[in-house]
Structure 1
Amino acid sequence: MLSRIHQFRRTLLIPLTPQILTPPTSLIFTETSVSAANLTIDEEPTTTTTTTFLSSPSDIISGILAGLKGLGSVKSFRRDHQFRNLFLSLSSAQIEGIIDSLRTENAELAIELFYLLRNDYGCKHSRVSQFLIAHILAGKRRPKALRSLLQHVVQEEGCGSAPSLCELLCDGFRDWNSNCTVWDMLAFAYSRIEMVHDALFVIAKMKDLSVQASVVTYNSLLHNLRHTDIMWDVYSEMKTTGIPQSEHTNSILIDGLCSQSLIQEAVSFLRETRRVEPKPSIVSFNTLMSGFCKMGCVDVAKSFFCLMFKSGLLPDAYSYNIIIHGLCVAGSMEEALELMNDMEKHGIDPDVVTYNILAKGFRLLGMMSGAWTIIHQMLHKGLTPDNFTYTILICGHCQTGNIEEGFKLHKEMLSGGLQSSNISYSVLFSSFCKSGRVDEALSLLYEMETVGLKPDVVMYSILIHGLCKQGDVQRAIQLYKEMCSQRIFPNSFARGAILQGLCEKGTISEARMYFDTVVNSDLVEDIVLYNIMIDRYAKLGNIGETVQLYKQIIERGISPSIVTFNSLVYGFCKTRRLAEARRWLDAVDIYGLVPNAVTYTTLMNAFCERGNIQAMFELLREMEARAVEPTHVTFTVLIKGLCKQRKLQESVGLLKDMFAKGLSPDSVSYNTIIQCFCKAQDTKKAFELHSEMLLHNLQPDHVTYNILINGLCVYGDLKDADRLFSSLRDKNIRLTKVAYTTLIKAHCVKGDVEKARRLFCQMVELGFEISIRDYSAVINRLCKRCFINEAKIFLHMMLSQGVSLDQQICSVMLDAFHLVGDLNSMLELLAEMIKCGLDPG
């Protein structure tokens, strides 16, 4: 063998010139053809010359053929550069001739050479060479290799290539053995990679040549066409040609009918097959049950499950899993568990899929304890959790707020050698970002690359949004650029997050610059970006830019949304141009849009602020006439309007109307009315409303308590205010600085300076930020009440806390000292003023 390789290597030293390698006339192959050359390499020359000179192309081909036939294998030439250069120098026609010659004497060598040239040398074979090998593989009954080869061919040729390939098969290979197999596999290859029209063309050509396609090819076509009416044309042709349909054929047709929501037709088809076949197929039943479950008709699916038993069929694990999944989606977990027990009674062991379905069912209901019970049962059975199991648990824990447990499972999954999924990473990204832990989410992004996963646009968008939400817009922009560099094209969510971030954390000029860059350079016609920019200008009261951007939308042919008009209405309301705001509301109809609750509520609130309660209620009637349901915010605006007119009982009646409509008033709704009752000096009714809040499981907020304390201080009894304040502190309800300052001022007015001082000290101890204004408010009140010594206590407290004096507080204290003739205190304060750089004059 070594001597043969040595002899063939000597042949590789033949000098090749462009003239020698001129391709011969194209070859037309017939089954009776013989090798292109039958010559053998001459005996080794007796001279010392080591190079053989062949005079013509046919001599070169003959030499190569003889060498190849003598070797019997070319595996040892995979990394041989001389061998590689020789063959890459040959024309396609010459390689075709070599393969054709080899196929009759050593077909395996022909196949081996073909794949060596393609896979190892990167040679692009001609269509003829590929069909030569296809026929060899078909003749040797190697369907997998034949399918792989022809799929490679059609992928390389692309859509619309069927006519030319069919012409080559007809002209060059018509009478070859195995030609029928190659035709059939060509049609199958087109169908398998979803080039359906090409597949149909091949089958039509086969029909003209009286070549019959196999049931496998027809099934593949039916599968690709199951969402269309063409499915029935293919099926009719299949029946006409007498091809026996398989169980798989029937299941594909039933699946197609189900996917087109033609359930009744699917049932009728099953009945028809039951009449024809002695026993219907489990696959057909499974497909039909799956179709009903996908439509939410799990009870109907269960009836077919029972019919399987009546038809003498025992459901398999897949049958059970279909019904269990349907029950879990419907939330019937108890019934799903019973069916799993029934599964075991019939001798069918639940598999990992079964347990995963049940675990996911519990997860969808937020019952993670139930999901863990199922997983423990699975482990007890000796089954190993797979990627899907971990994904279910990770998603469940993250969605219930237990991100630490979800992350722990993620690490356990990776350490166990399992590949995490994009879903798991997306859920973890979202959970970390929602909890403000964006850096940890970013570390997961780079972890993905190490485990061989590629982040998609959704993941990048989640992270970009998270960074923008925490105000780190510049890092978000960097991540945006990184995403684009990976050729992952950003969606409106990512762009919108950056623009929103710039609007909220940056300057309006920065936001506008980014907006103009995106909508102009990227030619993005995205109403979401326009809406963000319009809303920002509207909130700033820049109505000119708001309207200018609206005109730009119309000029570019972009359809505005109701959000666009809501911002415009808000902008005109903010600038107190209510008549124009009303016209924008009417303009909504022009674009086929319907004003929503936000549109009406915005305008109603503007009229309420202007005191035009009649216009506010006219809008409410219009809103109801157009069947636009008011929200709790709408009712809060109405309550505020009634309170302004001191119609307190009517406002309380609106609270009842809200409950009747299934709306829950929020603390703002109640606070608005409570404040009005306090101002009306009806603190009893105010506290009744406070109790009503608790009755409806609505926790009063700090504003509620500030209103009540202020109401008692100003309109009620200060002792009651003290009792409420102490009660709230005893219940560990954290009060705001406003509650403290309200009581302090009240005690100063009443002359209880010691009580005021204790409250002030408590406020300082709790860590509230104490400003000059807080000291000034107390000192002013004490001075007005002529409590000069007590005022001095607060002045010294202020200076000891490092709070600088201001001109106003010094003037008040100097006047007070002058009034009581306290010259020493005046001089001390004047000296302190000079020290602070204040004008003592």
Structure 2
Amino acid sequence: MNRTPLKSITQSLLKTHHFSNPNLSSLQTLPDSKPNSSINPLYNLLPHTQNPNKIVDIICSNLKERKTTLVEKHMIRHLGNQDISRVLLRCQSDSFAALSFFNWVKKDLAFDPTVYDYCIMLHILAWSHKFSDTMGLLSELIQLNKSKPGKVSIFENLILCTKDCTWEPVVFDMLLKAYLKAGLIRDGFITFRKMVKLGFVPKVISINFLLDGLLKLNRIDECWGVYEEMGKIGVRCNTFTFNILTHVICKSEDVDKVNKFLEKMEEEGFDPDIVTYNTLIDGYVRQGRLKDALYLYNIMYIRRVTPDLITHTSLINGFCKDGNVREAHKLFVRMVQIGLKPDVYSYNTLICGYSNKGMMQEARALLHEMIKEKVLPNDFTCLILIEGYRKENKLISAVNLIVELQKFGILVPKNLQIDLVVALCRVDKPFAAKSLWERIVQDGKETNLPIYNELIVSFCKCNHVNEAIQLKDEMFFKKIKPTLTTYSAIIGCLCGLNRTMEGEMFMRDMAELGIHPDATICRSLISGHCQEKNLSQAELLLRVFAEEFQLLYNECYNEVFKVVSEEGDINKSMGFQNRMQRIGYTPNSLSFKYAIHGLLKTAS
């Protein structure tokens, strides 16, 4: 780093910020917990080692002699922050002594040195080439300053310290790095601008860190601003700089700058490498500019940069996104022919292209090819193939794929298999779903209540109630408590199959488990009894619902009343109505309609 004349730097900073006293920084607004005692002439009558007026001399002398006790305990209360600065400045030539004193103040005395004191210590360490200690202390200072209510400029205090102590310009470059290391990119950027303004020239490595940090924050304009400053202050870019700026170009979506940028690299004496081209091609592909990506691909050969696996995979992805899977496959074949071995990402890209087009046979063939080439499919391979079959409503083919993969010793993620079980249930394929589920739970450890309910509902929907009851029994065996959904599906199916009495038994079982029936179960049981002409049982059940569960559904009451009225026995229907009213059921307009129809039937 170039050294700018000290006098001009300090004068410039003081003029800019109007500091009235260069020896005191704004950082010294931090409380001085131990103010310096006013000089008392009577202290001079005391022995030298007990004279508070000589506390700085005493400490420096003891430090020079490497004494462990720097000052007597009764003298510590006379030590103030200005004394700390004075001791440090007198120890500039002995970084070990300065650091020992600084740590003693922080740890043993539990003082809070001002940031100005920190900056003096940093200059001492940097001047002594103790760069590791310098960076450690910078990180500590940055964290300390960040946690304080009034944030102070460390950079400006480092400048102010240069008036009184020897200094090394590299400390400013290290401050920039420390900010970036702490993730304080904005502070790093501000420090960079101040360095440039005062004539300091940061190292290219530090600038690269800054560019990378700004890029991650998507501060594209500021990245170009830093790049322009590099040219003004004479910092020469390196390969890393250009590769970072390549990412900047892609993020800025202004890829028309590419050719000019590549020319600039060549002017600087850097040939764009494979990383540069791959980044640019990937940027084009992401923006849907496949022709431009292919143009760069051809340029690579002209400039004698051999495209690698990443280059080809990006272009294959571009063709697939463009819907041109055949061209993608041609490029894939060409890649193999020039000696590049496809990896799982290359295969996945092409398989995904085929799956998205619904060309599952071709996708499956690629899967077989990758297994043959000993490229192990990963979770994403399984996902795109299963999703491809699901989009084509070929769920059984997806199940067969899972079985096939397992035969090859390839583990299909359990969550993908469970999702497929649910999908099979919802398209009324409960037997296939159960078969796949049994493969999943063959270790006997799976206790997934929602899946059991999905299977039971699906079996019941297809009127395979015995299989549903078997699954419910299996749940008991695995200590999985059935839910209202479980019983509602089974009871509804039994009632629909004219097995209402069995359904009623299941209702009793669920009540013993503390699960109360709901409107759906009430309707299923009442409808079942009415359909089977079990009117006395239906009436009994209405009473049970009302008295045991406080469920009074007029809809269920009306359904029974309708059947009773249709028999044409007015006395029987009125008797039923009276009994129901006594337990809380209330006739409505629909009830009277059924009663009238019954009377008309009797009259006829």
Tell me the TM-score normalised to structure 2 length: 0.49
Taking structure 1 as the reference length, what is the TM-score of the superposition? Answer: 0.37
Higher relative contact order (CA 8 A, sep 6+): 2
